[in-house]
Amino acid sequence: MSDTMTTARQREVVEEHIRGENNGDWTTVYDTFLQDGREHFEVVPMGAKFEGIEGIRGFYKTVAQALPDFHIEVVSEYDVPGYSIREIIATGTHKGDFAGVKPLGKSIRIPMAIFFTYDSASEKLISERVYYDRASMVAQMEGTA
């Protein structure tokens, strides 16, 4: 497959992944990942890495409980074979424990950068790595921002 075709398919997988997140369709989200033990999700500001599909499921379960109306708006995107970067705005209402912060029902709006690695042989994601300002997120959750 040419680099152009690989990048186009990779873009489709990332779009499917984000659409699944926005719709709370976690089966679709999980299905975008490899499931051979290499798959993982990293939350860099928390120093947390969720390995394997079960680790990824656990992470998303926490997000779904903490922010039941979680939504991603893609602001910009960049793709090269094997890697996709998305600059996003994540929004939601904090209704469940997250990162040690008790829910107060506050709305959050967090700019994030997301880096996806992609396996062209399987047409699946290997990893997702997110970066954001953790202090800003916690301040919004606590209502001090």
Write the pLDDT tens digit of every residue in 30-78. 999 999 999 999 999 999 999 999 999 999 999 999 999 999 999 999 9
- What are the tens digits of pLDDT across the range 116-136? 999 999 999 999 999 999 999
3-142 is classed CATH 3.40.640.10:
no
Show me where the domains of the chain are located: 3-142
Q: Are 17 and 125 in contact (CB under 8 A)?
A: yes
Give me the numbers of helices (H) and strands (E) for the chain, helices first please. 4, 6
Evaluate whether 67 touches 98 at the Cβ level (below 8 Å): yes
Distances (CA, A) of 135 to 17, 46, 138, 139: 27, 11, 5, 6
Supply the pTM of this predicted model: 0.94
Average pLDDT score, the chain: 95
